[in-house]
Amino acid sequence: MTRTPGKSVLIVGGYGLVGSHAARLLRRHHPATNIAIAGRHPERGETLVTELQQIASGPGTGDIELMNIDVSQPIRTPLDRYDVVVVAVPDPKRHLTRAALAHNTTVVPISEMADEIAPGMALTAAHGGGTYIAAGHWQAGVVTLTTVNMAQRFDRVDAVTMTAIFDPADPVGPASADDADHMLGEAMVRQGGVWTTLNSRTNPRRFAVDGDDAEVVPIGTLDVPALAAVTDADDVRFEFGMGTSVGTRSGTTASHDIYVELRGVADGTPTTARVLISGPHGGTHLTGLGVFLLTEHLLTAGTTPGWHLPESIMDAHTAVERAVELGVSIVDLD
């Protein structure tokens, strides 16, 4: 991959599980990039800084620094020296998002659900020189990019169903646990070409996973409107449930598995395609990898100011190839 000398990335929440995975990948594959790790308790990132320096050090490698940033308060830290600001923590008051856009830099929030993106769109319009990448998709866009790549086989896509299975043996950080709590509610779905909401708790269904039966419920991830826009499918939904992962079944570590099913027409014939996306190191690692893919693209290819989605600025086939190269398993089930 192309080196990015002199580029700088700020990861707020960088010492958490997702942020630290993204930082490790960035240091390993783009060692010339300067990385700032920030949060309310920067001392918790000291071990990570040592690890990043061990991954790559010496002439030509970027600096690693720790910073104190509390997103619950207005951000006074100048952010204009960063090319990309990754928001790997909830930013409910949008203090960090506002500060990044005001400094005309690129901000990448990764925890917003489909019904939470309007404030970021308005802030982007108010600060015309900044760039906002809405990456609140499942695994920061890995699932949507894979599904967009799948859809290229079809003449017409009628239905998209994404089902994420979380293994209880897969560790999650505090922010990820909070996300799991707040994503259960009114889930945005598309049914019969009409946008509606379904209550997660009152609309479960059974989903077969390798002979077992898991209960899954609809949730309103950003993948749903994103894929409806790309495919124009009449029916699009994202589901979440608990179950035993591919990794656990094989006797290794818990993986994070997402089953994607597309129904439509290919070569003039009614067609169903199913794919299993499996992150062998679990959900937070797969999300960190998604953050890395997006950050890598922004550092090497860039984008124009404004409001964007990962699939609107990245080539899906190239992104899928890169994800597989980095260890993600993407397997056709048909």
Residues 167 and 271 in one domain: yes
Residues 275 and 291 in one domain: no
In a domain, 170, yes or no: yes
Q: What is the pLDDT of residue 2?
A: 45
CA dihedral 216, 249, 324, 334 (to 10 degrees): -70
Amino acid found at 283: G
Contact yes or no for 189/113 (Cβ under 8 A) = no
Specify the DSSP class assigned to residue 246: H
C-beta atoms surrounding 11 within 10 Å: 31
Residues 146 and 253 in one domain: yes
Residues 164 and 100 in one domain: no
- We report the CATH number of the domain holding residue 267 as 3.30.360.10
The b-or-e profile of 285-303 (16+ CB within 10 A means b, else e) is bbbbbbbbbbbbbbbeeee
Residues 108 and 211 in one domain: no
Residues 130 and 244 in one domain: no
Number of separate domains in the chain: 2
- In terms of residue numbers, what domain contains 43? 8-138+286-315
Q: What is the pLDDT of residue 334?
A: 80
DSSP reduced 3-state for 10 = strand
pLDDT averaged per 10 residues, the chain (length 334)? 70 96 98 97 96 94 96 95 96 96 96 90 91 96 98 98 96 57 84 97 92 91 97 98 95 97 98 98 97 97 94 98 98 92
Tell me the C-alpha distance between 6 and 334, whole Å: 46
Q: What is the pLDDT of residue 303?
A: 93
- We report the CATH number of the domain holding residue 88 as 3.40.50.720
In a domain, 1, yes or no: no
Residues 58 and 151 in one domain: no
DSSP reduced 3-state for 63 = coil
Q: What is the pLDDT of residue 246?
A: 95
In a domain, 226, yes or no: yes
Half-sphere exposure for 57 (CA within 13 Å, toward CB): 8
In a domain, 2, yes or no: no
DSSP conformation letters of 203-243: --EEEEETTEEEEEEE---THHHHHHHHH--SEEEEEEEE-
Q: Is the pTM of this model over 0.85?
A: yes
Tokens 């998709």 appear where?
137
In a domain, 271, yes or no: yes
Q: What is the pLDDT of residue 177?
A: 47
In a domain, 44, yes or no: yes
Tell me the C-alpha distance between 319 and 296, whole Å: 10
Residues 76 and 158 in one domain: no
Residues 187 and 236 in one domain: yes
Q: Which residues contact 59 (CB under 8 A, 6 or more apart)?
A: none
Q: Of 96, 88, 103, 108, whose CA–CA distance to 72 is shortest?
A: 96
Residues 250 and 296 in one domain: no
In a domain, 125, yes or no: yes
Residues 170 and 267 in one domain: yes
In a domain, 202, yes or no: yes
Residues 26 and 78 in one domain: yes
